[in-house]
Amino acid sequence: MSKRKSTGSAAMSEGACYSELQRVLRERVYKISAPCDVAGENDLDKPRRHLLDLIQRCSSMGESNSALIIGPRGAGKTMLLSSVLAELKENRDFRDNVLEVHLNGLLQTDDRIALKEITRQLQLENVVGNRVFGSFADNLAFLLEALKKGSRDSQAVLFVLEEFDLFAHHKNQTLLYNLFDVAQSQQAPITVIGLTCRLDVIELLEKRVKSRFSHRQIHLFNSLTFDQYLRVFRSLLVLPAEFRDKKFCGKWNKHVESLSDDPGVTSILRKLYDTSKDIRTLKMFLMLPVARICPSHPRLEMSDFVEAHKILTADSKSNTLHGLSVLELCLVVAMRRLSDVFVNQPFNFQMVYNEYQKFVQTRSYAVQSFDRPVVLKAFEHLQQMELVRAAEGAGIGGRGQKEFRPMLLMIDKSQLMQAIQKYPACPTEVKHWANTL
């Protein structure tokens, strides 16, 4: 309605601007493997070229190959591969020539499922029909052969195996053996790329599988410098130049610049960086602050970052202790005492109850006492919350009788003392008792 609209530059209403901003930022921060470009020199450049070359050779020269991308969680393995594929796919030849099969160890939990999924992704379900195969190798060979017939000469297939280590747990490693075998013997042009976070993944392979693998490994590490880290922080938040409302975009980007110079913000980022350099944690840190941006909360505030950092570093044990009833807290103190006396030997409910009774009887004027069954119920709740667990090798120690089952406490003294400090309206008697620990 406003006259400004007629000027040509696409000015949007404030609400629309923020909605668009949310869309753009969420696309980056909330998507698990969304690529994110780090300008300037980059550790990913070399592995990237390596990978690009490898896959390209398969499509252009029909060369078979295999490689593993190894790196800790969130090191950018998936991101690296998908950005390489995106670049290759800009080339028409590649698109026509290469079929992709994406497998994931979390989904294809055995080789039968994996084979069905391969058939599906190669769109060969009709060709296979009800045919029965003698072996896995026959079946795979048939699939690859079927690809040949349709087109001119060779159709290259790129196999991507996410969570590669899980495939090594399949029976006889049949899928891995056959894929590597085809790749090594050059029966058909295929490239096998495995992604894994296990550094010792090679050790998991059987000898015959290992000998067919090319041993090409690409290692990624979360090794950004703090400057690069800051740059990623900025690049996650700035709006792209294509943003429709230029004025809004300019203002926002200036705000982001000022944030990354703000000593308060950088000190929080520094703390985050020192605990973990991986970008996924940074993205998680930004989730809540980004979500909060709206017309009535137009900027990222220092308080947003402080809150997000608090959530990320919250001590969940002490949070859990905070939610206990006084009776349950008393039992925890009693158990801590027992664990101290018997130096981390297991204890049972009967001992805990005894300890608790001793406490209550000496201070009956101040502390409400409870019947044994009520105490037992509280004890079982602690067990349900996994603050207490059955000791290993409990054996026949107390089969059938829960009050004599050997247990261990999962809370150490400092956690307990902290919790007592924070506990709302903690009876002073209980405090004193805990202090004698």
Partner 1 sequence: MAAGPPTVFGHPTEQLADLYSSCPSRHDLVTQLLALFGQNNHLSCPRVFLYGPTGSGKSHVISSILNTLKLPHALVNCVECYTSRLLYDHILNQVALVTPAPDNDYTNYSRCDNMNDFVKTLRTIIEDRELQEETMYIVLDKAERLREMDMNILPAFLRLGELTGCNVCVVLLTEIVWEKFRAGTGMCEPLVLHFPDYTKDELLEILSSDCPTGYTKDFYMSYVNIVLSVFYMACRNLNEIRHLALLNFPKFCEPIKKGEATEEDVHKLWRNIEPHLRKALQTVYLREVSSAQWERMQEGAATQESSSANIKTLTGKVNMELPFYSKFLLIAAYLASYNPARTDRRFFLKHAGKMKKTVQQMKRDERASSQLLGPKPFPLDRLMAIFYSIVEGKVAPTANIYSQISSLVTLRLMTQVGSDDQLDGAKFKCTVGLDFMRSIARTVNFDIIRYLYDFV
Ligand X SMILES: Nc1ncnc2c1ncn2[C@@H]1O[C@H](COP(=O)(O)OP(=O)(O)OP(=O)(O)O)[C@@H](O)[C@H]1O
Which spans of this chain sit near Mg ion (rule: CB under 5 A)? 78
DSSP string, 138-151: HHHHHHHHHHHHHS
With CB under 6 A as the contact rule, the residue among 198, 280, 381, 402 that binds ligand X is: 280
Considering beta carbons, is residue 27 or 138 the nearer one to ligand X? Answer: 27
| Residue 414 near partner 1 by CB under 8 A | no
Token pair listed for 77:
């393995």
The number of residues that bind partner 1 (CB under 8 A) is 68
CA distance 60 to 62: 6
- Bridge partners, residue 217, by sequence: 68
For 49-187, list the strands marked E by DSSP.
Answer: 65-70, 98-104, 156-162
**Out of 90, 149, 400, 414, the residue judged to bind partner 1 by CB under 8 A:** 400
327 binds ligand X (CB under 6 A): no
| 322 counts as binding partner 1 under rule CB under 8 A | yes
CB of 222 to ligand X, least distance (A): 7
Contact (Cβ atoms closer than 8 angstroms) between residue 264 and residue 57: no
Which residues in 63-87 are b (16+ Cβ under 10 Å) and which e? bbbbbbbbbbebbbbbbbbebbbee
Count CA atoms closer than 13 A to 205's CA, side-chain side: 22
Burial class (CB in 10 A: 0-12, 13-18, 19+), 60: middle
Question: Considering the complex, what minimum distance in angstroms separates the CB of residue 57 from partner 1?
Answer: 28
- Binding to ligand X by CB under 6 A, coded x per residue (else -) over 201-230, reads -----------------------x------
Which tokens go with 63?
């060369």
Residue 71 interacts with which of partner 1, ligand X, Mg ion, none, CB < 5 to 8 Å by class: ligand X
Residues in touch with ligand X (CB under 6 A): 32-36, 38, 44, 71, 73-79, 197, 224, 232, 279-280
Residues in touch with partner 1 (CB under 8 A): 19, 22-23, 26-27, 30-33, 73, 78, 104-109, 113, 116-117, 165-166, 197-198, 280-281, 284, 287-288, 291-292, 294, 296, 311, 314, 316-317, 319-320, 322-327, 348, 350-351, 354, 368, 370-371, 373-374, 377-378, 384-386, 396-401, 403-404, 424
